[in-house]
A and B are shown apart, each in its own frame.
Chain A
Amino acid sequence: MKKIIELNVNGEKHEVAVAPNQTLLEVLREDLHLTGTKESCDLGSCGSCTVLMDGNAVLACMILAVDVKGKEILTIEGLAQNNELHPLQKSFHEKGAVQCGYCTSGMIMTAKAFLDKQPNPTKNEVKEAISGNLCRCTGYAKIVEAILSVKQA
């Protein structure tokens, strides 16, 4: 039943035996122990499991692991380089954009994909970009501020 595939995650290659119905989210969390990516709805409706696939923000709960062969996956664990926080991680921390933190990984990954394509967005564009990522704690104000401050940096 299970099939061995090669996954490229955070620049590292992994051989994983996956069932055909296993999602990328399950494989990341359970097989690769990359638990920074969170599961909240398992229905593609909250954004908590957002990772980058070839630079695009995708919902890991809606993607089958077998379909990820040959693609580059970036998770929250792969964002900081050489022990340096990514500017988004730094600004989320410093601006108080984190409360419970359960949406934070997905929120940051969505913001990264967005800023990579649109480095100078307006406030409304930022709000639109993260509108698929639900947060119940912050009221989004400081998240928007954190993303905008990276743009200006």
Chain B
Amino acid sequence: MKQSEFAIIGKPIPRIDGMIKTKGEALYTTDISLPGMLYGKMLRSPYPHAKILRIDTSKAEKIRGVKAVITGKDTPDIKYGCMMVFGFPEASDQYFLARDRVRFVGDPVCAVAATDESIATEALEQIVVEYEELPAVFSIEEATKPDAVMLHENNPGNISIGVAYKSGDMEKAFKEAYYVREDTFNTQLVQNCCMEPQVCLSNFDSSGKLTMWSSTQAPFLQKMLMSAVLDIPQENVRVIKPHMGGGFGAKAELFAVHYCAALLSRQSGRPVLICHTREEEFAASAMRHPMRIELKIGVKKDGTIIARKGTNWLDGGAYNSLGPQAAADSLMFLSLPYRQPNVDFQSIRVYTNRSPSGAMRGLTGPQVQLATDIQLDIVAEELGMDPLDIKIKNGLKAGDVTASGLKMKSGSIEECLQKIAEESEWKNKYGKLPPLRGIGVGCNSFPCGTRVLMFGPATALATALIRANIDGTVTINTGASDIGQGSDTVICLMTSEVLGIKMEDVRNMPPDTDLSPPDYYTASSRVTMMVGNAVINAATALKAKLFEAVSKQLEANAKDLEAGDSRIYVKGSPEKGVSFREAVEICQMLNGGSTITAQGNFDPDLGPFDLRTGEGDYSPSYSFGAQVAEVEIDPDTGRVKIERILRVHDCGRVISLLGAQGQLEGSVALGIGGALSEKLFFEEGRYLNPSFLDYKFPTSMEIPDMENTFVESNDPVGPFGAKEVGEGCINPVAPAILGAIYNATGLRFKELPVTPEMILKGLKKMKGEE
């Protein structure tokens, strides 16, 4: 596709909020204060598992400046589960303020609001809680022992959720396979580490209306969940999302900060701000599910996969959070990105006495992709094949339908791999580099939004409202949350492209649940695909109204008109036209002075889909990608130096060039941390390194040169042909790096992160055996 067919799409246009962010003007939730505002704090359990025998808050209540103290007994007896409002009511298992039992170190027990933070902290110190400790389980292995203590009475075996999908004749396929092998992979605890911690400012007024300024990826979901757990009407909850200091998945649901801020505000009659400290963020904010992945693969002599059995064990922590979604997604990731005719997949999420695992960029994709790609590397070696070739051979492509029903609509793994082979000079390097230098390759395919019907079947997957203003600008309102990734800019770019007006003339309304159309959330890489399509449809409908209105004056048929350069004119004769501003005026005059509005939605017919089995087409489309890492190992320190990382990503169409590059670069940085350095150490129920000093996420020094190449496969469903670019790219980082480490040293790792210590040990062992 030629770039020239677009006026603005695909160009390196700076993001719409870049200027105010560089000036320190952008207001984040932490920057907002209201008259009379109080500061809230939560008292958290020091035990991983205990009964609460007694809570005495009397001393705290008497402290000057303390305006509200609440415990579980002051809350409605309604258990929370992120998916309680859409199809998984049985997944509700959590009291945000413990009523009689705590299940992790950090489980909130009481909350206080005071006139300043130090008074609130002092009040927490004066609260007396008596506990009776219970036995606890800290790993999947411990939790699934037959005699293990149960975290929740309705979940025998501590199984929080299980989903499974099976298709084909496994026994026959494995019998016929030329080569069969089994491997187990383990991944670690990784924290989202948003630079802005969880924070919420709540104001519960006397009319019963709750307004929340919330750093959230999901204002509408928060509204629904808050109404459910407080048992108040949905329309009594208003969620406003200010600028946001990152999300990555950590802020995709409701948390104790939101719940406690609301209740403290109701009790005190004053606005209440609660902001996690960094330590609380590590102790209690959502993190990536540690996983154990057991894979069995059967291939033909030429490397063609004929069967795959996979079991994902997810360490869920103490509560469900969005566990059902994580489990279902991990099942889907087993189906990607390679063809496999016979499959037997299951995902089992297990309760442990740890803060709940939730969402993080890629959800469970990075874990599953590590296992899939490394096992395929091993198979390739056993068959005497190049790992890149076995991935080309099996990679999904447009037209393929996976056993579970995922339909590939554009692009292919092969195209991405061919490109990256060329750019990385793979054939000149693989197996030909000097000792201690190596090269590895990983792949990915990622959904462009999941079909979770949060609002029920009567509401579209996305809706956009658009209004033409009398000054020639337009206002677009989608409810979508820009969490830093740049979706507001994408929305403005698309609006500008359709209407032929300047991007500066498009105003994007930040989400406000009282004013915006319902939006699901910023998660599962859905915004460009789903909201983008709704935006195009809304802008197109608005354009049709303007064309119709000016057609008389221009003595032309509406279908012969065109919009561009902030004008509407007759195709082929740009001089015969009116300015966009005049068009709006004419249209209003013809409509009795009414404001000109339109709406568009995205509600494609994608056939049936069942989240519980993973059967059906999960997403409107799927991205593809490939990554190559080149590493050098220091034999004295065991340190892995990443020389370069190359990425090829099929995002269908680049909408915002700087934004798309930034998404790839950020994904890779996150992936490098997950592969080599990030691990939250957990012992006897406690995190040992809950700070940026001790939890090592990459600094500028750990990031190598990165090279981006986009493939534009022009997706048939995507807006302007676009697919996702925000998450898929993290999945192949670890397998590419681990593959390169193997290529450099002969050390095959099946767990994350790979530390210098592990490499040194491995090198020593190899020497000893020589």
Contact = CB atoms under 8 A, between A and B. Distances in A.
Interface in B665-703: 665-670, 691-693, 697-701, 703
A43 B669 contact: no
Q: Which of B19, B21, B245, B698 has the most chain A CB within a 10 Å cutoff?
A: B21
Contacts of B698: 139
Contacts of A40: 195-197, 245, 278
Contacts of A130: 700
A36 B245 CA distance: 12
Nearest to A101: B21
Given A100-B246, A136-B246, A136-B248, A45 B692 contact: yes
B665 A41 contact: no
Interface string A96-109: 10111111110010
Contact of A93 (B19, B195, B661, B703): B19
Contacts of B194: 100, 102, 136
A36 B24 contact: yes
Contacts, number: 175
A5 B676 CA distance: 47
Nearest to B22: A89
Contacts of B661: 96, 141-142
B168 interface: no
B27 A35 contact: yes
A24 to B, nearest CB: 15
A32 interface: no
Interface string B19-54: 101111111101100000000000000000000000
Given A45-B693, A77-B24, A136-B195, A101 B17 contact: yes
Interface in B265-286: 277-278
Contacts of B485: 99-100, 137
Given A92-B22, A98-B15, A142-B661, A137 B666 contact: yes
Contact of B196 (A100, A131, A132, A142): A100
Nearest to A144: B700
A131 B195 contact: no
B701 A131 contact: yes
A132 B196 CA distance: 17
Nearest to B708: A141
Interface residues of B, number: 53
Contacts of B543: none
A99 B662 contact: yes
A139 B658 CA distance: 13
Nearest to B277: A42
B706 A141 contact: yes
Given A37-B24, A38-B245, A138 B196 contact: no
Q: Which of A85, A98, A100, A102 has the most chain B CB within a 10 Å cutoff?
A: A100
Interface string B583-626: 00000000000000000000000000000000000000000000
A95 B661 CA distance: 11
A103 to B, nearest CB: 5
A49 to B, nearest CB: 11
A43 B278 contact: yes
B701 A128 contact: yes
Interface in B697-756: 697-701, 703, 706
B243 interface: yes
A76 to B, nearest CB: 4
A38 B22 contact: no
Given A35-B24, A40-B278, A96-B658, A85 B692 contact: no
Contacts of B666: 99, 136-139
A108 B697 CA distance: 20
Interface in B486-529: 486
Interface string B204-239: 000000000000000000000000000000000000
B15 A96 contact: yes
B682 to A, nearest CB: 20
Contacts of A48: 195
A135 interface: yes
B22 A138 contact: no
B659 interface: yes
A153 B503 CA distance: 27
B15 A42 contact: no
Contact of B699 (A90, A100, A131): A131
A46 interface: yes
Contact of A41 (B24, B28, B30, B692): B692
A98 B18 contact: yes
A49 B241 CA distance: 23
B700 A100 contact: no
A127 B692 CA distance: 18
A96 B278 contact: no
B278 A98 contact: no
Given A98-B22, A100-B196, A101-B243, A139 B14 contact: no
A137 B484 contact: yes
A75 B25 CA distance: 12
Given A96-B14, A108-B22, A42 B195 contact: no
A134 B191 CA distance: 14
B658 A142 contact: yes
Contacts of B700: 126-128, 130-131, 133, 140, 143-144
A114 B693 CA distance: 23
B250 to A, nearest CB: 10
B542 interface: no
A132 B699 CA distance: 7
A80 interface: yes
A63 B552 CA distance: 69
A131 B701 CA distance: 6
B483 interface: yes
Nearest to A44: B693
Nearest to B26: A101
B193 interface: yes
Contacts of A127: 700-701, 703
B699 A102 contact: no
B244 interface: yes
B399 interface: no
B89 interface: no
Nearest to A143: B700
A38 B30 contact: yes
Contacts of A101: 17-18, 21-22, 26, 243, 245, 484
Contacts of B693: 43, 45
A88 B22 CA distance: 9
A88 to B, nearest CB: 8
A48 B703 CA distance: 19
Given A38-B196, A136-B193, A93 B22 contact: yes
7 closest A-B pairs by beta carbon, nearest first, are A36-B24, A100-B484, A96-B658, A102-B245, A101-B21, A139-B669, A76-B24
15 contacts: A37-B24, A43-B692, A45-B693, A48-B195, A80-B23, A92-B18, A93-B19, A96-B661, A98-B18, A102-B194, A136-B193, A136-B666, A139-B662, A139-B706, A144-B700
Interface of B: 12, 14-15, 17-19, 21-28, 30-31, 192-197, 243-246, 248, 277-278, 483-486, 658-659, 661-662, 665-670, 691-693, 697-701, 703, 706
Interface of A: 29, 34-43, 45-46, 48, 75-77, 79-80, 85, 88-90, 92-96, 98-105, 108, 126-128, 130-144
